[in-house]
Amino acid sequence: MIKRISKNIASNIIFARRRIAKSKILDKESCRILAYHAIESSDPSKDLMGLAVLPSVFEMHMRYLKEEGFCVIGLLDLAESLRKGIAPPKRSIVITFDDGYKSILTNAMPIVKKFDFKATLFVNIYFLEQKLPKHVYWHSWQTLDWGDLIKLGQAGFSIGSHALTHKRLTEIDREALIGEIAGSRETIEKNIHDKIYAFSFPHGKYTNETKNILKQEGFLCACSSVNGINDKNADIFTLKRTEITGFDDSPIKFEKKLLGCYDWLGSFNFYASNVA
């Protein structure tokens, strides 16, 4: 609770200052990548990390982006520009979802399409195959199946890998690491009949070896869980992201995230930026 209060106080102070310079901050040539998980209702007594965002709140976020003139671009388009040393467009945003919850198809996809935006979904094989222990509350949420991924691909979503088992990639040996990266890529590609090029690190954890294996395996970019924006000097294999949670349930709270009021957290406590 103390952590939550101090984070809110710090972010409010930053917000008060940044809001005055809002246009200047947002009009920098940099891209903010939003990281969502599930788009559905959840039990607030259990979902203390706010991993589920209500569909109505998600729609409010998308409407805010549209009305405030943000430029929603595809993740691979961003990676390609950065690879060429080209700065991202002003006010650019990339939308991503981690894990592979069913609600991305049933709730998020129609809203993304309604606003004519692009999005990337990072799927974890153990989520899709329901091999994760159910005592962790979000493991009990309904997940996508392979047919759903094909439907999402047809709806314009780009599919990426979020590894095989959802283990921290910093805690396994090289052989297992190759299995997580190459194994997940092969399984996804076999089932969706398409190539994939983007990766997101489970729990945001990575090493230089992880990055090297990703490059060897033909990936073109990877998303970390470090808070922040990506300018033309960004490392395309550790792109920064901004987690959007169920607590970002008003335009002002969403605006705080877009203005980078939590960027000072860096990689600290990514999944709990609003939680005690």
> What are the backbone dihedrals phi and psi of residue 255, each rounded to the nearest 5 degrees, phi first?
-60, -35
Nearest approach, Cβ of residue 270 and Zn ion (Å): 11
* Binding to Zn ion, residues 89-118 (CB under 5 A): 98-99
Residue number, 30 or 103, with CB nearest to Zn ion: 103
Residue number, 99 or 255, with CB nearest to Zn ion: 99
Residue number, 114 or 168, with CB nearest to Zn ion: 168
Nearest approach, Cβ of residue 138 and Zn ion (Å): 9
Nearest to 223 by CA among 31, 28, 35: 35
- Binding to Zn ion by CB under 5 A, coded x per residue (else -) over 137-176, reads ----------------------------------------
Q: Note whether 73 and 87 are within 8 A (CB).
A: no
Residues pairing with 99 in the sheet: 123
Nearest approach, Cβ of residue 166 and Zn ion (Å): 6
Output the CA angle 239-108-222, nearest 5 degrees: 15
Residues pairing with 34 in the sheet: 95, 242
* 243 binding Zn ion? (CB under 5 A): no
Nearest approach, Cβ of residue 47 and Zn ion (Å): 14
- Binding to Zn ion by CB under 5 A, coded x per residue (else -) over 41-80, reads ----------------------------------------
Cα separation, 53 vs 34, in Å, equals: 13
Residue number, 40 or 59, with CB nearest to Zn ion: 40
Residue number, 201 or 247, with CB nearest to Zn ion: 201
Nearest approach, Cβ of residue 215 and Zn ion (Å): 22
Residue number, 99 or 248, with CB nearest to Zn ion: 99
List of residues 6+ apart from 80 with CB closer than 8 A: 220
Any alpha helices (H) in 93-232, and if so which ranges? Answer: 103, 109-114, 125-128, 146-154, 174-178, 184-192, 208-216
Nearest approach, Cβ of residue 226 and Zn ion (Å): 15
Cα separation, 269 vs 39, in Å, equals: 21
Residue number, 26 or 75, with CB nearest to Zn ion: 75
Cα separation, 86 vs 106, in Å, equals: 35
Q: Note whether 72 and 94 are within 8 A (CB).
A: yes
Nearest approach, Cβ of residue 96 and Zn ion (Å): 11
Residues that bind Zn ion (CB under 5 A): 98-99
